[in-house]
Amino acid sequence: MITKIYITSDFLMTKEKEQFSNVKWLYELLKRPLESCTGLNSRIFTSSLTAVDKFSRIAFFKNSSIELDIHKTQFYYDDEVINDNSLSYLTKFIDKKTLIVGYELSEQTRRLLSKAGINYIDIWLHPVRFLDDVLFGFSSNNEEIFNKLNNFYYPTETYWMYADRLRIGAFKGWKRVIDNIKVKPNSALFVGQTLEDKAVCKNGNMLNLLDFKKEFEQLGSQYSKVYYSRHPFLKTEDQHIIKYVESCSFASVIDIPTYHLLSHPNIAKVVTISSSVATEAKYFDKETEFLYRPVFNESNKFDIRSYIPIFQDFMTSHFWSVILSPIVETKPCAKIEFIHKKDKIRDMLGFYWSYKQIDKIEHMRNWLLAVDRKLQNYISGSLNKTLPKMPVTETNQVKIVIKNKSEKNSLDGLSLIKKKIDKAEVVSFDIFDTLLVRDLDVPNDIFDLMHDKAAKLIGTPITSFREERFNARKLVVNSPGEEITIDQRYQALCNKLNIKKNIANKLTALELEYEFLFCRKRDAGFELYQYAKKRGKKVIITSDIFFKKDFIEKLLIKNGYAEWDRLYLSSEVGLLKHTGNLFPFILKELQVAASNMLHIGDNAHADIKMANAHGIGTAFLPRTIDCLKKKSNILEQINTGDKKLNSIVKGIVGNKFCDNPFSFQNDTLFSGNPYYLGYGLLGQMFFGFAQWIYKNSVSDNIKKIYFLSRDGDIIKKVYDIVAKMYPDAPESHYLLASRRSVNVASIRTVDEIKALFDINFSPATLKNLFLNRMGFDLSGFDKIIITSGFTNIEQVVNYRSPADRSKINALIDLLAKDILLHTQSERDELMKYYSNEGIVSNERSAIVDIGHNGTMQKSLSALLDKPLIGYYFCTFNEITKNISPEIGLAKGYIADELNPKTSSHPYGKNILMFEMAFLNAQGSFVRFLQGKPVHLSVKHESKRVEFALHLHKGICDFNEDLVSRYGDIIKDLDVSAIGSSKAYCYFLNNPSYTDASAFVGICFENKYSCRDIQFLLTSKNDKKNSSLWKKGSEVISNYESIEKRSIRLTRVVNIMSPFMKLAKTTKLLNDKKYSKFKMEPYKFIYDSRGLIFRNIMSKYIMK
């Protein structure tokens, strides 16, 4: 007879954190009915990584010479190699008088419990999930209990009835979806699963579609179409699977709710590895196939894989009284049930999954929640996003301050850590991601970069060096300490691959070479390190790392960390921070009290939790990349088109933006800083453009490349950086050129003069039109002007007026001789400059500019009397009219021959915002006068000039960092034009208020077209000018609307304050609500149900 009941999860296979998540709700659900019928108090049983008096998975597996990977969510093991020592250790904690009630125990764990003579009842979530409530499968290794479970067998005929309801409802019911789903007749559906799931674990490998390519392709030959439905929990982790599906001509990824697909008559077969969907599909009259096996077998035949479906009965004492009667004395309990059975467990556990697609009430609930979220976002959520929380002072006159919390954190974050350093005797620093950072998205990406060289050393075909290297740790057995050194890992890998042992040394050297290249100083960590040294603290360096001491010392010294008192490495000591065992070792060796030591690190578990567990003070300095991912989604937008380059770019950007984790503003892409905009968003775009220019110029046999002012300035700067990677890169030259200068200098005939004025211009005086368009002064030609039909040079002319344009042509005829002398003068000076620059020679030359219709190239070609090749960021479809073979060739990077009027391309929609990125701080080039260049003044563009200086510095710094550090690695990688601009395009469509504000006051001149200064974004006080960037203007306007509400709120709160204080004094308002009013008045008013507060909200704040 049993005397104890343990409620547990899979305490052998499942990670500790996951165990507790599963077992907590089960314990709360079962403890009362179990006690009621048996009189026994059940308890939770889980494994522990740290507590010495609790069951340890590490110790259990170590007894069988198996090293546990504590990081694996599900740790596969072979129960046949578990020896008696392990079982003996297990029975110290669970004896034969204990009943295990487990949630989703693995088959291995169930077999071991049976081998140890321990009774269990195992509970799995049932695969059929479209009933009125969640169903569970129950099994036991005690045959008597199993037979008792049969008394509660839920009839499977019910499944057919509910499936029929859904199937018919799909074309006839409340949500008629079939007509809107386009599925080819006689199709198959392949249902994907998560990548870490016991159900897909076979011999230690997590199976996925790529393990069944043959079967998948066979489906393609048998059915007209194969649809792949990915698991809804997966976002980007399965891209390798999606890529394979998309490569199959017979298959496509489908994003339609599963129950809708099961209801569709054109789906003939459902295939999966082990997904519950295939079990459900049977009841929708589909042919089904499991490529591995279902989670369990639904059967009343006693077997380790047989499970009995049970509805809500297991929540009652009656159920447990019946099934436990063979192993414990139970008392009779009345049979009870819910009055209304629908969704009781589903609501209790939140197990909804795809339920909203088939249940009308759940669908309505989700719809209402979505509406409520949008409403909340409009009223208060948007306030929280664009205006961070508005703290209120505790004075009688309340003042609401609009201030971003990150500004305060920027000032206080490192200062607070320094205050902790002041109080400590010993300051311990973690190394990786604290003192040093890697320019990689995740550390293991370094193995992808090593792949080709490592594969060459290994000498045999290898699919993924990353995977082999990552798994090498598991290959090491009988390690004397908690750490597995790099030498041990590579020796074990060589043994597995059956290659010479000396290759292990070469692989080790290769990894050290890459680590030495990618690791660099973290400025925030270095600042804290220097501060501790200056304060005379004993500085020690503590790291969980498999590298040897001599390498770590070289790495630290290379990056400026030349002095420390002690160096504690898990590879040397044999103890880990992660297990908590390294910290007491340090305390003992240093003979220091835990309260006098401070440890600074980036890992919440190893550096913070484990140190705190031993009484050591801590300071959390989060990893740069992880910090940025929490604050911003910029890294999600980085897509250079190459996986390796993506990782490097994300690493460089993350380390730049969040080196000081307290300074970057939340919910922004570049913290409103033009330098960060250049570094993080535009730098990669210009890198791709510059690399494209190089590759095309070499292919076209170009000797010299001329970058045209002003847009070519930043392109040339980046090209010069990128060209350092390529010894054969053509020479680069910056060439002064503009529409105004080249078009005027090219004029040799009267018709060419007239053509110049046939280009659109804004209404302007006749005098300004001729000055701006060609620099010709009409003063002194009064009689000729009157003869042509104008009254005087101050008369306003309009391009859209045929009469005005006719009179302009008449004036040109009368002034032709003088104008042609003027153009000859400009041409002579310009050609002299061009001759000095070498572009007049017969050498094959190319020009670079932002692009569009090729008019500049056409004019330059005519002026120089030679064909030119034009490399442009973007060309428009009109370019084919201007660039003939005699003139040369034109190519576009991000888009070629784009129709800006009809295309949805992001460049066509945001031309001015792209042009802004290219403009330098100089005014537009006009002409040469007496050998000196003349530029337009930028005195009215001071904001743009300052913006451009910071922006272009960021672009150049990014490219300098990328190329100088990793040029040899990235020089042969191809960059996607669209991908490299993705981050900037995302910003243009999704700007935050902070980021958009960086563009307020930035203006353009366009004197050539006689236009007034135009602003990308105007400030709220500018009533005269309009904004060209409509999306940014919308964000600014919304923010300013909220700002006005906050001002109204300040006034309302000031009026309410004395009345609220009186209400508190007279007990009409409790302390909690009064405190809420003081700290968050807006939320207090919004949350209040009283009519008076609702009126205040609608009439005085939200109006």
Give the model's pLDDT for residue 1060.
76
Neighbours of 602 (CB within 10 A): 24
Give the model's pLDDT for residue 907.
92
Sign of the torsion formed by the C-alpha atoms of 344, 350, 351 and 355: positive
Report the distance separating Cα 158 and Cα 1065, nearest Å. 62
User: What does the pLDDT look like over 1008-1042, one tens digit per residue?
Assistant: 888 778 888 887 677 777 888 999 888 888 776 66
Report the distance separating Cα 466 and Cα 481, nearest Å. 24
E strand intervals along 653-726? 704-708
Contact 658, 524 (CB under 8 A): no
Model pTM score: 0.63
Element (H, E) at 151: none
Token pair of 906, please?
A: 């992001």
Report the distance separating Cα 532 and Cα 514, nearest Å. 30
3-state helix/strand/coil string of 280-344: HHHCCCCEEEECCCCCCEECCCCCCCEEEEECHHHHCHHHHHHHCCCCCCCCCCCCCCCCCCCCH
Contact 819, 825 (CB under 8 A): no
C-alpha neighbours within 13 Å on the C-beta side of residue 490: 20
Q: What are phi and psi of 797, to 5 degrees?
A: -115, 150
Token pair of 307, please?
A: 């499970």
Give the model's pLDDT for residue 630.
94
Give the model's pLDDT for residue 420.
96
Q: What are phi and psi of 7, to 5 degrees?
A: -100, 125
C-alpha neighbours within 13 Å on the C-beta side of residue 749: 4
Token pair of 407, please?
A: 């500004």
Token pair of 693, please?
A: 């220019």
DSSP string for residues in 515-560: HHHHEEE-HHHHHHHHHHHHTT-EEEEEE---S-HHHHHHHHHHTT
Token pair of 860, please?
A: 């330059």
Token pair of 862, please?
A: 């005519």
Which residues lie below 8 Å from residue 757, measured CB to CB, with a gap of 6+? Answer: 769, 773, 805, 808, 809, 812
Give the model's pLDDT for residue 412.
67
Report the distance separating Cα 484 and Cα 481, nearest Å. 7
Peptide bond into 566 cis (omega under 30): no
DSSP string for residues in 229-287: E--TT-SSTTHHHHHHHHH-TTEEE--S-HHHHHT-TTEEEEEESS-HHHHHHHTTT-E
User: What does the pLDDT look like over 199-226, one tens digit per residue?
Assistant: 888 887 889 999 999 999 999 999 999 9
Using only C-alpha atoms, the chain has a radius of gyration, in whole angstroms, of: 37
Give the closest residue to 1017 by CA, choosing from 952, 955, 943. 943
**Which position has the token pair 């909690």?**
1072
Give the model's pLDDT for residue 480.
79
For the chain, the farthest-separated pair of C-alpha atoms sits apart, in whole angstroms, at 123
Neighbours of 252 (CB within 10 A): 13
- Long-range pairs of 299-307 with CB within 8 A, sequence gap ≥ 24: 300/150, 300/153, 302/143, 302/146, 302/147, 304/107, 304/110, 304/111, 304/114, 304/139, 304/141, 305/107, 306/139, 306/146, 307/122, 307/124, 307/126, 307/137, 307/138, 307/139
**Which position has the token pair 């169903």?**
135
Give the model's pLDDT for residue 374.
58
Question: pLDDT means per 10 residues in the chain (1103 residues)?
Answer: 95 87 89 96 88 86 92 88 95 96 95 96 95 96 96 94 94 84 94 84 87 95 95 80 94 92 96 94 95 90 94 96 96 94 92 85 78 54 39 33 40 86 96 97 95 92 92 86 92 91 94 96 96 96 95 96 95 94 94 95 95 96 95 93 94 96 93 96 97 96 94 96 96 94 93 92 93 93 94 94 95 96 95 93 92 91 93 94 92 93 88 92 92 90 92 97 95 92 94 93 83 81 80 83 67 75 80 80 67 54 51
C-alpha neighbours within 13 Å on the C-beta side of residue 325: 12
